[in-house]
A and B are shown apart, each in its own frame.
Chain A
Amino acid sequence: MKKTKVLWLSAIACNGNTHSFLNYPFMEQFLEDFEFIYHPVIDSKYSLEDIVSKEITCDILLIEGAISKEFKRADVSVVKIIEKYSKIVQKIVTVGTCATFGGIFRESGYENTSGLHFDQDKQLKEFQYLRDKTISVSGCPVHPEVLVNTLYAIKKSITLKLDNFLRPKEFYAYTVHNGCTRNEYFEYKVDNHRFGELEGCMFYDHGCQAPFTHGSCNKILWNEVNSKTRAGLSCMGCTEPTFPKRNLFSTKKNMAIPENLPVGVGKRVYLTLAGITKAFKIDRLEKKLIDD
């Protein structure tokens, strides 16, 4: 089978997606199936100068980093590079939250910095004609398996169902909360979380956004071993258009009621259930998980 040619283009980025990608466990197989015409770290047949000055045959354009026409690579505006390659490729993938929504570097001070199709959750007019070609794999960084398997889906001409932000539903229909080992503390409203412990849920006080963040972090584990919420760190909502929100380690509450509730769950439903579960004391969840 012919290798699929991929251009990995970094715009205003930290290269976090590049290095997250390098954590993909079956790299050998991947490199047999794909070839980078350019990659920030992996050697390629062409130099960046070749990429910007010529038009190299390519099947998939990957964009990492926030986009502004002011930002240049090898003296050429990234917007110009995107315009050129978007015409010849079969698909475009915005890799990570910066390329999708603007992310952290939306604030980097370049003129009109945003994602390719979205400025946070606002749909952009520029590049609208490319929407049908684009798949977004958001996340700061993207999960390597989410990226690589999306690339394989493109290679195999599989039509992926996408959400409103062009993200494959197979990965982003879940919430990060799905599969968290701290779920029971959430379900039964045991709200006395302290950092540094195996027990407790960070939703109530420490800003965990997992119940309203789309992603597979607790379904497809990170580095195949863990997730932030399992480790005891709040989900920072890094796959969403709103990333990064402010005051990330504390839960926004109105009269002690969390402002952001599990996605799709009405306030009345949530409060009713919370009121019921909170009335019960569940000893197993009140004590240490691994006790004497």
Chain B
Amino acid sequence: MIKLIEKIEGEAKLNFNFKEGKIDFVDIEFMSTRNIENILKGKNAFDALVINPRVCGICGHAHLIATVQALESCYENLELSNKAKSIRELTLNFELIQNHFKWFYLTLFPLFGKKQEILKATYPSQLMAKAIAVFGGQYPHTSYAIVGGVVCEITHMDIIKLQHYISQTSKFVEDNLVKTDSKTFLTCKDADALLDYEGDLPDILREIKKMNLLGHGKSYDRFISFGQNSYFKKGKSLKTKVSHNISLEHVKESDIASSFAKNVSFKDEYYEVGPLARAMINKNQLIADAHKKYGDSIFSRILARVCEISKLLEHSKKLIDNLDLNEPSYIEPSMDISKLNSIGYSAVEAARGTLIHKVEIEEGIIKNYEIITPTQWNLSGGTKEKQGVSQKAMVGLDDVKTAELVFKSFDVCSVCTTH
């Protein structure tokens, strides 16, 4: 049976094959593409900073950061201040947080028979958007990160404003998501203990338990994460064994006949990316405990995504405290882009996982541009013999409704996938 999965920043068609009453194989099809990579060809390299955020309305900022880092890696000896690095990291954190709130209250809630909590989604995500706008001028679709730094200068008053946005968001988490003080939640190491708390997250987790879905949605237990910054670590995790020595050259993108999306693999294997992957590689104790008890199931995946909100808020506070306002925001590159012939890569952690950009420049003009989005990793459509991560996670389920829940636990972004 074919089901059109809607409201995933677009749609995807899932073709379910049942065998003896259980899902045997799911074919995933994305029905369109927007050819961003072609649009970029022949354009001035810096124009990618304006075009690429428009890959996606919900995680466009990750595309900006990936673009600027890919362009910067084309230069030799490019100088970047710590302040600029931290500011970029902050705005990306804010975007991740914004995404997770929207996913939790808009996408996940209806899957548990609850009404969407639109205001609970928009209130904190608006605060995070404001925090981005303090630096970038607006959200969505700013291009404030440019080769050499960021365009903005930050004052003490801006910092105070930001701190208010962050503490207001933390307060929202404490009043709604997990009704306890942030410190208790952040230091909690027992996934089951969370079931005893009040709040929207514990409600959902209890619901999972009540519906006997605790172990559902397991896949390969194989995780990867390439984006590296002051919080996220680069690495892969195979059944809790973490190694940090991985290289982008083993990432391969390949066409599939049945869909406009492209497959992505690492050393010819499919890996899960996203908050669960990041938490496993970062060895987050709460998530490690959930993983120990429930594996790479929807329980762990949902918990990891929501938990990341608090972790990133906490880390952002530290980044702000450590900002040295005397550093320059921008250091002009010593070489003009029009003289540059080079190839550059970047990998950043977007809300849904590792986002990779690759650019080839000839005399400042884009010759080639490739984008690999997180959803491509998770939704790679393999054959029945070699299934993709989300495909595997749906195998063995009894019904399409649960399968949709498992599918959406990856926080699917159709527009990104069909860039």
Contacts and interface: CB of A to CB of B under 8 A. Distances in A.
B50 A244 contact: yes
Nearest to A207: B46
Contacts, number: 196
A226 B144 CA distance: 12
Interface in B102-140: 102, 106, 110, 115-116, 118-119, 121-122, 125-126, 129-130, 132-140
Contact of B116 (A18, A24, A40, A43): A43
Given A16-B141, A22-B122, A41 B102 contact: yes
Interface string A113-153: 00000000000000000000000000011000000000000
A75 B11 CA distance: 11
Given A72-B32, A74-B11, A223 B51 contact: no
Interface stretch (A85-93, A190-198, A259-267): A190-198
A222 B138 contact: yes
Interface residues of B, number: 69
Interface in B40-91: 43-44, 46-47, 49-51, 54-58, 60, 84
Given A16-B141, A233-B136, A108 B34 contact: yes
Contact of A14 (B6, B57, B329, B332): B57
Contacts of B126: 22-23, 25, 223
Contacts of A175: none
B141 A40 contact: no
Main secondary structure of the interface of A (DSSP, over half): loop
B149 A16 contact: no
Given A15-B9, A231-B151, A247-B47, A222 B60 contact: no
Contact of A195 (B35, B106, B129, B330): B330
Contacts of A22: 102, 121-122, 125-126
Q: Report, as a range, how many residues of chain A touch the other chain.
A: 35 or more
A45 interface: no
B344 interface: no
B9 A228 contact: no
A177 B9 CA distance: 33
Contacts of B415: 13-15
Contact of A222 (B106, B115, B119, B139): B139
B306 interface: no
Interface in A25-56: 25, 27-28, 31, 40-43, 47-49
A225 B39 contact: no
A186 interface: no
Contact of B39 (A15, A72, A104, A232): A104
Contact of B51 (A104, A222, A247): A104
A226 B134 contact: yes
Contacts of A18: 57
Nearest to A25: B126
Contacts of A233: 136-137, 142-144, 151-152
Interface in A174-231: 194-198, 217, 222-231
B39 A108 contact: yes
Contact of A246 (B47, B84, B121): B47
A6 interface: no
A7 interface: no
Interface in B149-171: 149-153, 155, 161
13 contacts: A18-B57, A19-B140, A20-B140, A22-B121, A41-B106, A43-B116, A105-B34, A195-B330, A223-B139, A226-B138, A231-B144, A233-B136, A249-B46
